[in-house]
């Protein structure tokens, strides 16, 4: 679904500006916040980041996304991942997000998902959270053509209108609207 994005139990990572964009980070952060709140462990999410150049950009995207789904953010600023994990436990938060690509090259960044215990999500929780995140991503950004458009690809919505090409999701919506009108 996310070309070039590496998705694992501990989180997502990718090259900044390619697979990992503020839109992708926002979608996953909103999904994580909604998932964490739905589990009944409160509204607070701890957020911290490392010192990568892309950190401030993703930090702002994460804060906005979490607040958009009703989370209270505890921002610990620049901090190593274990400190963020301990802060989740200390504050009895619903979870935490670490914006860090750890040992990966500098042109990469990542989101690490931390559960209410202060540990990374297990495979079951990670899968459930990704389902929520994917739903969140599609409700926030209705189709991948908008993201591709920003990267100069041919399937830009304006190009699609000019050429008559539509993504599968919009074709399905068009067919529904036509059948409802008939």
List residues with catalytic annotation: 102
CA distance 82 to 30: 22
What helix, strand, coil percent values describe the chain, rounded to 5?
A: 50, 20, 35
C-alpha distances (whole Å) from 122 to each of 23, 112, 136 are 25, 12, 21
Helices (H), the chain: 22-38, 55-68, 81-90, 123-140, 144-150, 157-163, 168-181
Find out whether 50 and 83 touch, Cβ atoms under 8 Å: no
Nearest to 116 by CA among 97, 134, 139: 97
């Amino acid at each position: 679904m996310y070309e070039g994005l590496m998705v694992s139990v501990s989180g997502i990572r990718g090259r900044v500006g390619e697979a990992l964009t503020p839109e992708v980070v926002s979608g996953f952060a909103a999904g994580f916040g909604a998932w964490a709140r739905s589990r009944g462990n409160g509204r607070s999410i701890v957020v911290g980041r490392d010192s990568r150049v892309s950190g401030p950009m993703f930090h702002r995207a994460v804060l906005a996304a979490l607040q958009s789904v009703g989370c209270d953010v505890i921002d610990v600023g620049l901090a190593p991942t274990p400190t963020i994990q301990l802060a989740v436990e200390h504050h009895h938060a619903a979870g935490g997000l670490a914006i860090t690509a750890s040992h990966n090259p500098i042109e990469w960044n990542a989101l690490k998902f931390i559960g209410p215990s202060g540990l990374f999500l297990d495979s079951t929780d990670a899968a459930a959270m990704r389902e929520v995140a994917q739903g969140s991503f599609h409700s926030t950004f209705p189709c991948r053509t908008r993201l591709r458009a920003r990267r100069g690809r041919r399937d830009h919505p304006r190009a699609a209108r000019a050429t008559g090409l539509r993504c599968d999701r919009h074709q399905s919506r068009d067919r529904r609207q036509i059948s409802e009108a008939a």
